[in-house]
Amino acid sequence: MVLNLFNERAFAQGLFPEDDGRIVFVEDMELAIEYETNGLFARIIDAPAEEAVKHGFELGGLDEDVSGYIFSKLDEIDGVKKMTDAMSRSRLFGGVIVVMMVDDGKGLEEPLEMRNVHRIVDLRVYDRTEAVPDYSSALDYHSDKPRRAGTPEFYDVHLAFGGGFRVHESRCLIFTNGKLASQSIYQQYLHWGLPEYYRIAKPLRDLMKAHDMTTKMLEKSVQPVYKGNLRGTLSAAEGEQRISRRLSVINRLMGRFRYIGIDKETEDITFAQSNVAGVQEAITAAANLLSAASGIPQTILFGRSPVGMNATGEADLENWYSLVERKQMLCLKPNILKLLDVIVEEGLFSRKIRERPEIKLEFVPLWSMSEREQAEIDCLKAQTDDIKAKTAELYCKIGALEPEEVREGLEGR
């Protein structure tokens, strides 16, 4: 039976030691179920990947025809969508390979021959649960087939519906979720990277528990109090049954007609309200911890307007964009460049590209000024230029500068 990661039964299975709540091991099936059923967890997984590709990228050093051909080919094979999916699933499971289905006259288990690339047909994404590295090949090295030392030469892909195939690493785009220390207890993730859940499990559980307890506290914060001749009734024969029947009648009246019928001489109903102060502070503290652990500001994670002394939230957003830019440079950019090399080879073969270009890939900046901010900068610049002009005119009048010198200064020479 699959356990809910946020259920107390998980403690009984040894997944969460009760002392500090750290995870020992989580099944891949459980990660998949939590991603599908927990919207907050899914948001943490998907947000960085979506932000990384939201504004797209530019290809410098190319003429318009070559650039148009490359982008049209990316659209044909859903390149951006597959890259986004790969980044998300690498955060979920720890790692992903994207197999480039390339027609170069050789099989998938053979090294990719870039000079013989005729066409790239498709990109297929396989996460760590489907792609198993051939660790024995990581110890081999061939001078005629250089690759990074310690990396597998082959991956064995096992399809969920049965069957599989072996693919050479040169045909793969590798996405990992960070690096682990060689002494890590999670050796099964050593080649790939740690699933993001391991880093945010306790803050995520604490936040969900805080919200759950808040609902229960609100339900119990108002308690109906029945006042009647309880002592005399209990001392009589069948006293408990009489009280139970009376309370049942009152409850049915309130549930059906939304009013309570009581005896004005012997009965009374009041509602005692408990103090629930401090609940919002506890939820806020749990949300702050989750935001710090995930690196995603609350304005992005919860859609919450920034509050507090720094009401603009600019510092949080700056840290968020720095995190996304690091992922762009370390994970996304190398794989996109490798894919673009294959697309260029196809273009050269089909003669839609006449000569091999030098591609300069630059991501569109994540942070852009609003119209108001740009207007304020333009206004400040105009005021500065006006002050410079008036100062130069004054220097000319008093003979401190020659008109030619003033003209050169204003032109920035």
pLDDT digit string, tens, across residues 47-103: 999 999 988 898 887 888 898 999 999 999 999 999 999 999 999 999 999 999 999
Most confident of 218-232, 241-255, 370-384: 241-255
Q: Which residue has the higher pLDDT, 2 or 379?
A: 379
Q: Which residue has the higher pLDDT, 378 or 159?
A: 159
Of 111-125, 147-161, 174-188, 197-211, give the lowest mean pLDDT range. 147-161
Of 109-118, 150-159, 172-181, 380-389, give the lowest mean pLDDT range. 380-389
Q: Which pLDDT score is estimated for 17?
A: 41
3-state secondary structure of 273: strand
Q: Which residues of 345-369 are buried (b: 16+ CB within 10 A; e: fewer)?
A: bbbbbeeebeeebebebebeebeee
Count Cβ atoms below 10 Å from residue 300 Cβ, excluding itself: 20
Q: Which pLDDT score is estimated for 117?
A: 93
- Packing angle between helix 79-93 and helix 28-37, nearest 10 degrees? 120
Q: From residue 246, give the alpha-carbon distance in Å to each of 232, 256, 261, 271.
A: 14, 16, 10, 18
Q: Which pLDDT score is estimated for 303?
A: 78
Category of 399 on φ-ψ map: left (φ > 0), alpha (ψ -120 to 50) or beta: left
Q: Which pLDDT score is estimated for 157?
A: 94
Rounded to an integer, what distance in angstroms lies between the CA atom of residue 172 and that of residue 364?
26
Residue with tokens 């080879």: 345
Structure tokens, 300: 């992005």
Give the whole-number percent of the chain exceeding pLDDT 90: 33
Q: How many helices (H) and strands (E) does the chain have?
A: 14, 10
Q: Which pLDDT score is estimated for 305?
A: 61
Asked if residue 168 lies in contact with residue 190, where contact means CB atoms within 8 angstroms, the answer is no
- pLDDT band for position 7 (50/70/90)? very low
Q: Which pLDDT score is estimated for 339?
A: 95
Does the structure show a pLDDT above 50 at 214? yes
Q: Which residue has the higher pLDDT, 173 or 162?
A: 173
Single out the residue of 20, 305, 19, 25 nearest to residue 5, CA to CA: 25
Q: Which pLDDT score is estimated for 148?
A: 57
pTM over 0.85: no
Q: For the segment 184-206, what is each residue's pLDDT rounded down to a tens digit?
A: 888 888 889 999 999 898 899 88
Structure tokens, 269: 């109903």
- pLDDT band for position 370 (50/70/90)? low
> First CA to last CA across the chain, in angstroms?
76
Does the structure show a pLDDT above 60 at 373? no
Rounded to an integer, what distance in angstroms lies between the CA atom of residue 15 and that of residue 359?
48
- pLDDT band for position 211 (50/70/90)? confident
Single out the residue of 101, 59, 90, 120 nearest to residue 345, CA to CA: 120
